[in-house]
Amino acid sequence: MKKVLFFVFLGFFVFLGCSQNYEQSTKNHISVYGNAPKKSVMFFDDFYSAMIMASEKKDLDKAFGFYSTNFPANLEKLKENTKKMYETYKNIIYVPESIVVNIHGDSAITSDSYTFSAQPIKIKEYAPMNYSGKERIYWKKEGDAWKIINWIYY
């Protein structure tokens, strides 16, 4: 009987802890700062999940659907280079970690550490890619959607 009660209490505290921390730590381990509505937190969580899937499935439309038309770089050139990478490499893996979201009104900044790897389709022509680093993504609310206005790797 004592073991059953112990596990009932343990389960309750785990559930309580998980339900209270949802807005602070979602499935991608996002830490949130600022006045963040749950809908915005869920969007950023979905963004990172979508970027992981876009890399794995080589989906250009998904990968570039988050960019603002005001993005400072040439998006067509970025798409072209990404398409070449998709044609040249397989097993593309993007893993963001330690994601932090700062939301202030209609602006937000996400920052994270990441690892990226890909294996060449033609091993004799290209080298494998293995990178790790940090990135900061600047966002602006455009209508009802969050859009990327700048993306910095450091």
Domain ranges of the chain: 26-153
pTM across the whole model: 0.73
Residue of 43, 82, 91, 46 whose CA lies nearest to 61: 82
For 37, the enclosing helix (H) or strand (E) is none
pLDDT at 127: 95
Band of pLDDT at residue 34, cut at 50, 70 and 90: low
Q: What percent of the chain has pLDDT over 70?
A: 75
Q: Does 140 score more than 90 pLDDT?
A: yes
pLDDT tens, position by position, 61-119:
888 999 998 898 889 999 999 999 999 999 999 888 888 888 888 899 999 999 999 99
Question: What per-residue confidence (pLDDT) applies to 32?
Answer: 67
Per-chain mean pLDDT for the chain: 78
Task: State the CATH architecture for 26-153.
Answer: Roll (3.10)
Per the CB < 8 A criterion, the answer to whether 68 and 145 are in contact is no
Give the pLDDT confidence score for residue 80 in this predicted structure.
Answer: 94
Q: What is the dihedral of CA 103, 57, 84, 94, to 10 degrees?
A: 50
- How long a stretch of residues is the chain? 154
> Given pLDDT bands bounded at 50, 70 and 90, which one contains residue 16?
very low
